[in-house]
Amino acid sequence: MKFVPGELVLERGDTVVFVNHDLLRHDITELSGKAWSSSSLSPNSSWTMVVEKSSDYYCSFHPVMKGRLVVK
C-alpha cells in the first residue's frame, strides 16, 4: 500500500496516469487543500491528470499512502 514511485519530477503540462495495481480501492487526493481528487479507483483501474504545479497527495482511504509531484 504505497505509491510507486513516491515522487515524480515533471514539466508543467505533463500528463500523469495513476494505475491501481493493488487489491483494494484507492484514490488520489491533493494533500494541502484537497484542490483535486480522483474518484475511487478499483483494482486495475486508472485516473489521468495534467500537472500544473507541484503537489503532495495521498489516498484518503489509506492516509499512510503519500506521494509528491514536483514540477520543474
Q: What is the pLDDT of residue 58?
A: 98
Q: What fold, for 7-71?
A: Immunoglobulin-like (2.60.40)
The structural domains of the chain, with segments of one domain joined by +, span 7-71
Distance CA 61, CA 51 (A): 22
34-47 pLDDT, tens digit per residue, is: 999 999 999 999 99
Q: pTM for this structure?
A: 0.93
Q: What angle do CA 57, 67, 10 make, to 5 degrees?
A: 95
**8 A C-beta contact, residue 29 and residue 41:** no
Among 37, 39, 38, 43, residue whose Cα is nearest residue 25 = 43
- 1, pLDDT greater than 90: no
User: Grid coordinates representing 36?
Assistant: 483535486
Cell numbers 474518484 correspond to 39
